[in-house]
Amino acid sequence: MSNRAVALSTAERPGKPGKAAIAGLGLLLPGSLLILWQLLGHYGIISEMLFPTPYTIAQSFITLARDGDLWSNLRVSVARALSGFLLGGGLGLLFGILVGLFKRSERLLDPSLQMIRMIPSLAVVPLFILWFGIGEESKVLLIAKGAFFPVYINTFMGIRGTDNKLFEVSRVLGFSRVQQILRLVLPAAVPNIMLGLRLSLGLSWLGLVVAELIASTSGIGYMMSDARQFADTPVVFVGIIIFAVAGLLSDTVVRLIERRLLRWQDSYQG
């Protein structure tokens, strides 16, 4: 783009805020809430035991980080969440492609999968513990169950939303089935698949919390459960914040990948 075009483009949007202004706007609400929370706790308006101030929570975070407990538990939790996400998301993508491409596969598999989807994750926890014990297998499978369905459903919807005329064009061009999948179906379904991955990641962290709170001897969820028994509320808040930050970071990574893969898409940016 020439300098003149850049100048014209900038001149057309003189009121557009910069990155610093956007970041400041996003921090305005949480920053105000933190200040209000600190003031209420400092002057004893709210219970320090039930709602420790942000300063107390920060002190607990520093202590846990310095002792190394935080990093060892976080490493275990991240490994579990990623293992469950890769297993469940990978199978969801595979089954989504299979069911989305072939009508017979849909009739054979989709009713059973939808029935499994309706079973709450908490309902299968006792069964998973009986089958696989309280080791890593039951936790990873519980996370994988939650991660499977968002990818499966969105992949299915993305493939079925592909314009039929594109399939006709691919037949005219002599594409093989593999070429159809790689050069037509998957690119057309990418927006839905990426949405499914974002939802799947969120459910992976949710499943991790459930798995670690129920039966575990390590991980951030176990750290929170252990702190609850000793009424160590600041540590519970540290665990909650760690989960929130980890979920936000993983979602940001997927959004960056999504933005790169969908550069060709001209959509409304707000």
Q: Which one has a higher pLDDT value, 77 or 267?
A: 77
* Cα dist from 74 to 65, 150, 217, 239, whole Å: 10, 25, 13, 9
In angstroms, the CA 234 to CA 31 distance is 19
- Give the residue-averaged pLDDT of 94-114: 90
Host H or E run for residue 39: helix 19-42
Model confidence, pTM: 0.80
Per-residue confidence at 263, pLDDT binned at 50, 70, 90? confident
Give the pLDDT confidence score for residue 10 in this predicted structure: 47
Give the pLDDT confidence score for residue 83 in this predicted structure: 93
Backbone angles phi, psi at 268, to 5 degrees: -70, 130
Host H or E run for residue 46: none
Give the pLDDT confidence score for residue 21 in this predicted structure: 76
Q: Is the pLDDT of residue 2 over 60?
A: no
**Amino acid in the structure at residue 215:** A
207: nearest Cα among 216, 50, 115:
216
Q: Coil, helix or strand for 218? A: coil
pLDDT, tens only, 128-185: 888 888 788 888 998 999 899 999 999 999 988 888 888 788 788 888 878 888 888 8
The DSSP symbol for 182 reads I
The DSSP symbol for 27 reads H
- Give the residue-averaged pLDDT of 55-80: 91
Provide CB contacts within 8 A for 87, sequence distance 6+: 140, 141, 144, 147
